[in-house]
Structure 1
Amino acid sequence: MNKVLQLGSEYFASQFGGAPDGLWSAPGRVNLIGEHTDYNDGFAFPIAIDKRTTVAARAREDRLLRVTSSSFPGMVEVNLDDVDPDALTGWAAYPLGVAWAMSLAAAGGASGLSGMDLALTSDVPAGAGLSSSAAVECAAALALSDLWGLGLDRPDLARIGQLAENRVVGAPTGIMDQSASLLGEPDHGILLDCQSLKTESVALGFAGAGVGLLVIDTRTSHSHADGGYASRRRSCEDGARRLGVGSLRALGPDDLPRAAAQLDGQTYRRVRHVITENQRVLDTVAALRTSGAAAIGPFLNESHVSMREDFEISTAELDLAVSSAQELGAIGARMTGGGFGGAALALVRNGDAGTVAEGIARDFAQAGYTAPHIFPVTASEGARREL
């Protein structure tokens, strides 16, 4: 048993006594490109990363759900009959929200389900835009599906995780994060069509090209449930309505002149980001297939400019992380995640990774910012049962 799984088992025993019925894990994700496109029925291209959340779980004979996390104090207990999305708050809303959403998918509803003890451990940095929330949701969903004998497939589990985040947590996110966490593969990205929910695994070829990803966690926390994320979504929906389409997915670059003529300046900029970002996702995948990993840098750089100027979700710390990485020789760099804080990513040649990381840290110190947490990530396997 590796160190992460041993930690999960030991933490479960310390909280509940004895051994769990099993351990399940799910990764966080980095979105290589395709930001704020998912809830607009567009394209995204995330990868599952080698940072994971582990859920140790054991079925109970009563109807009690008990959940505890090594990252937060205390234990939350609720009866299955009392699991109400409007009453769940804090960190426990993620796993308990999954239990609520999953009970809707069960043939007999919650009445036919047993209670459960769940213990969570994780090395996915929280608040960094690496979707620690989806890692919790997907690990919990896989554990509950197995122990409750529901046999749900990966797309079903992704929808359950999204429903929990939308309805219980109150974050109006799309399905990208859960899809990445459930469907990831080593050295592959996931091309996600958020309209059809079809996915395609695309080889990254990073290892063969001698390149890798650095995550620069600015340590400026963000929250998807805040007004900034929700207001961007409303702008996109308003733009689509005023342009006479069901979603911005129906529009392409050729529609931008009409959008500019019909929309106010701010709404147009929001719409322009989504339309051009969708195209950048497709261009990135095409470049990986025809020219290799080193060819995608310009699309990463352009994506950051679009998020900074058109969607206005970057921060001074994120902008410095990106510009510093670029000046230090990164192939490409951009902020990643929902914005308003969190992390940036840089595609770097393996031999340059140390120099880039050191230079970014130096630039942050000179600017008087909190020291960033900089670490490499690799594309890894999605959610799985470990034990």
Structure 2
Amino acid sequence: MADYYEVLGVNRNASEDEIKKAYRKMSRKYHPDIAGPEFEDKFKEVNSAYEVLSDPDKRRMYDQGVDPNNPNAGGFGGAAGFDMGDIFGQFFGQSFGGGSQGPIPRTQPGRDSLANVTIDLKTAVFGGTAHVDIRTMSLCPDCQGSGAVKGEQPVTCPDCQGRGFAQKVVRTMLGQMMTSAPCERCEGHGTIIQNPCPSCMGHGRIRSKRNVGVSVPAGISDDTRLRLTSQGEVGECGGAAGDLYIDVRIAPDKTFVRDGDDLHCWIEVPMSWAVLGHDLEIDTFDGSRTISIPAGSQQEDTVTLDGLGVTRLRSKGERGDIIAHIMVAIPTKLSDKERKLMEEFAESHDGDAQHVTQQSKPRPAGGSSKRGGFFSKLKDALS
């Protein structure tokens, strides 16, 4: 029995979220559209592991030693390596408990596909359309999925007469029995394509590259997976297409940092602006906006622009805020006149200072109930 925990790289006490995150990581790593067709078996193994471990009942069965994906691996159904359904089917010429055997349809559903797309923060704020190039199986344009040239139709297999399986007598420990297996000539389909389409070699589909437009909802979060129904791989002989999953990543922005639905930025202002107050313009995703730096602003004080942040997902146009953090630029070079003014201020304001204050938590801005503290007094001294 395969170790599904090892396949996903999680321990046996992993939570549902841990299993989901591990699956998404492994499915991206081994998906044939990304890693290559040689990883198809590994991708199927990852899907089988997630199918079991994501279902509480199946996971409980698995932890008790029964693989839900292969229940006949143990217990009555798999005792001594025999499938009881096969044995009864050999006696009565049909699949015991499973209905009559028949030909395998040529038309098969396609697999799901996976791709990645990176968007900018502005698209995440307002929503929009992103485009991604994918390589996957598409309908063959020459035969339109039939697999045959010039519109020809498959003909009945002469070996199995269209049944899709052949019967033969085999010797077993219970004596001679009649058994059945897929017809070798038609591979169980019951029909033969006499003149396969040279473009798709009779499969009705070809690998191709196409550009897909992805509708990105406003307020989307980083590393969100979107599902596009029937946009994945087309199945054999024109079978229904699987789904296309798009992992959306948001590129870092040079102006803002996102925190939930809010956008944060840091603005550097001259010391005089912080002391005296000042109006200035900043860039937003809605254009330039004016903000007011209050007189006596301290380092890391904030100014908020309401309703100009990220659109709240599934809301009616509601948005978060922009929070601008103030960084006061302390001059490192002063003219003689500027130094003299600062020395006069220091003598007036700090002449009686004996020692610095040391504590575990910062004091409120300004150090008292009166806003501004040092910068407010500096403003008064320079007025």
Whether these two folds match at TM > 0.5 is: no
Larger Rg: 2
- Going by fraction, where is helix more abundant, 1 or 2? 1
* TM-score normalised by the chain length of structure 1: 0.20
What is the TM-score normalised by the length of structure 2? Answer: 0.20
